[in-house]
Amino acid sequence: MTFNELGLSEKVLQAVEASGYKTPTPIQAQAIPHALAGRDVLGIAQTGTGKTAAFTLPMLSRLEQGRARARMPRTLILEPTRELAAQVEESFIRYGVNHKLNVALLIGGVSFADQETKITRGADILIATPGRLLDFSERGKLLLTGIEILVIDEADRMLDMGFIPDIERICKLVPFTRQTLFFSATMPPEITRLTETFLHNPVRIEVARAASTAITIVQGLVASATGPAKRETLRRLIRDAADFKNAIIFCNRKRDVAVLHKSLQKHGFNAGALHGDMDQRARMASLDAFKTGDVDLIVCSDVAARGLDIPDVSHVFNFDVPTHAEDYVHRIGRTGRAGKSGVAISIVTRADQKHILEIERLIARKIDWLSKETIAELDVEDAPEAPSSPSKGARSRRAPHARDENKRAESSDAPQRGERPAPTRSRRRAEHPHAALAPVEALTEAKTATQAKTATEAKAAPVRRRPAPRPDDDDAPVVGMGDHVPMFLRRPVKAKPTKVAG
DNA sequence: AAAAAAC
């Protein structure tokens, strides 16, 4: 099967060919002919299945007839997050090189002015997140009465995010006669109801089960105590990762994204961050830096869990185990894409064990433990949230390592031989094909190399003076708000939730 | 339990 057989226009086919694609994915092969024929499509597909091209390509073909009028876009694509919207815009730009179509991106967090100019000029393609779209619509700056094709992408995620009322409002603002392309990874009852209301006799296309995890992803669990010890566990995993290229690190909370990001930087890692409380420019900049390889680590909230298509992510680390099993599937799906192999490792504390069971049930398989010690052996209950008191067990075993890292952190502020520091990359391991499955050997082999390297770098670079590092306080200054924060702000807000009587 | 999304 080739793209030529799907009925796409010559202009689109040329752009597809220029991008180097020859064979359509299953969702593309099945959806494109129906989309071109004007049918409503209900696509049940995970991200990473080629879903975006499944609607951008036929839309571009169909838009070749007709032109946009001022403030009346011809097509509308709704996305749950700003990054996804921007990603879809890129897809239209890539495959629309031979067209003279106006593309507008309507997302929050950026100024109105540019967006308004584009809308006023007339947009053939409008890609939007619901909030900003409704804002424009309510201000009378945008008319949805000329919409010919409506795309609702990631519908189940829109549901999770509480967007369904907005989606319903928008569906009522567009003409009844439009064509609707509707995509969702799963079909919960609310989504089914939505499709029954807003789709007309749709073609139903289902490609991959939502809960299936790509077989190209090697998954593993590593037991850890909480607090600073957990960050130490992560650093060890990054350092010892075999075939490491880059990694996405997920935290459950935005606050922890910021804390971990600072911690990694302090330890000399080349890391960026991405979460929804960052301003939009910083979000875009972080993502770009990661895509181009300027940073090889990015610490994220679940804003990045779904849909983001970053080619060649070698590792995903769940710094926190997601509390929703579905999120696990989405997170680890950032690696192992397009037939490439990937590694996904989750750091598990005692409190996470029940979530692991749910995840294993969802993906219908056991995930291997990669750590020698089990959770039961770790002194989890005694592990501190605050940086003041260390956990005994896990800590003392790795103390030499921790000291090592402090040296690295100090040296990292200085430029090394005119290059930006890229510690994780420079530390890339000699091939160890099954390292992820044989972690103990990999760790031993890796450790000597790391230590040798670190020692050299520490000598070569000027050392920034800091209080003598003790393994106990290696992370003490990291609070996510700068180093000078009153002590009372560092204390956990709530009483320790893990403490249960008895 | 938290994240995301409008000002």
Q: Quick: pLDDT tens for A99-142.
A: 999 999 999 999 999 999 999 999 999 999 999 999 999 999 99
Task: Give CA–CA dist A40/A31, Å, rounded.
Answer: 10
Kindly state whether residues A342 and A461 are assigned to the same domain: yes
Answer whether any strand B atom is within 7 A of the Cβ of A276: yes
Percent of chain A exceeding pLDDT 90 equals: 60
Mean pLDDT along residues A191-210: 88
C-alpha dihedral sign at A344, A155, A28, A93: negative
Chain B nucleotides reached by a protein CB under 7 Å: 1-7
Closest nt to residue A84, judged CA to C1': B4
Q: Please report whether residue A360 resides in a domain.
A: yes
pLDDT exceeds cutoff 90 at A399: no
**How far out from the chain centre does Cα A220 lie?**
19
Answer whether any strand B atom is within 7 A of the Cβ of A307: no
Q: Please report whether residue A424 resides in a domain.
A: yes
Look up the CATH number of the domain holding residue A389: 3.40.50.300
Kindly state whether residues A245 and A123 are assigned to the same domain: no
Kindly state whether residues A294 and A326 are assigned to the same domain: yes
Task: Give CA–CA dist A369/A365, Å, rounded.
Answer: 13
Query: Residue A147: which of A165, A129, A166, A172 has the closest Cα?
Result: A172
Where among A175, A206, A237 does a domain terminate? A206
Kindly state whether residues A22 and A94 are assigned to the same domain: yes
Task: Give CA–CA dist A446/A244, Å, rounded.
Answer: 12
Kindly state whether residues A234 and A351 are assigned to the same domain: yes
> A390 falls in which pLDDT band (50, 70, 90)?
very low
> A387 falls in which pLDDT band (50, 70, 90)?
very low
Q: Please report whether residue A502 resides in a domain.
A: no
Kindly state whether residues A229 and A264 are assigned to the same domain: yes
C-alpha dihedral sign at A13, A19, A22, A25: negative
Answer whether any strand B atom is within 7 A of the Cβ of A282: no
Answer whether any strand B atom is within 7 A of the Cβ of A255: yes
The predicted pLDDT at position A371 comes to 77
Where among A206, A239, A272 does a domain terminate? A206
CB A174 within 8 A of CB A76: yes
- Domain boundaries, position A379: 217-490
Higher-pLDDT residue of A87 and A448 is A87
Mean pLDDT along residues A467-488: 39
Q: Distance in angstroms, CA of A379 to C1' of B6?
A: 46
Q: Distance in angstroms, CA of A493 to C1' of B1?
A: 15
The predicted pLDDT at position A203 comes to 97
CB A40 within 8 A of CB A181: yes
CA atoms within 13 A on the CB side of A472: 6
Kindly state whether residues A72 and A110 are assigned to the same domain: yes
Element housing A272 (H / E): strand A271-274
Mean pLDDT along residues A313-328: 93
In the β-sheet with A217-223, what is the strand arrangement from edge to edge?
A271-274, A297-300, A247-250, A315-318, A342-348, A217-223, A368-369
Q: Please report whether residue A498 resides in a domain.
A: no
**How far out from the chain centre does Cα A250 lie?**
8
Kindly state whether residues A233 and A332 are assigned to the same domain: yes
Kindly state whether residues A201 and A224 are assigned to the same domain: no
Kindly state whether residues A139 and A222 are assigned to the same domain: no
Mean pLDDT of all residues belonging to chain A: 77
Where among A186, A206, A226 does a domain terminate? A206
Q: Please report whether residue A232 resides in a domain.
A: yes
Kindly state whether residues A309 and A435 are assigned to the same domain: yes
Q: What six digits make up the tokens of A291?
A: 């895509």
Per-residue DSSP letter, A200: S
Number of domains in chain A: 2
Kindly state whether residues A189 and A333 are assigned to the same domain: no
Q: Please report whether residue A499 resides in a domain.
A: no
Answer whether any strand B atom is within 7 A of the Cβ of A363: no
Q: Please report whether residue A439 resides in a domain.
A: yes
Question: Quick one: which residue's CA is nearest to B3's C1'?
Answer: A302
Q: Distance in angstroms, CA of A322 to C1' of B2?
A: 10
Element housing A317 (H / E): strand A315-318
- Per-residue pLDDT reduced to its tens digit, A415-434: 332 333 333 333 333 323 33
- Per-residue pLDDT reduced to its tens digit, A251-270: 999 999 999 999 999 999 99
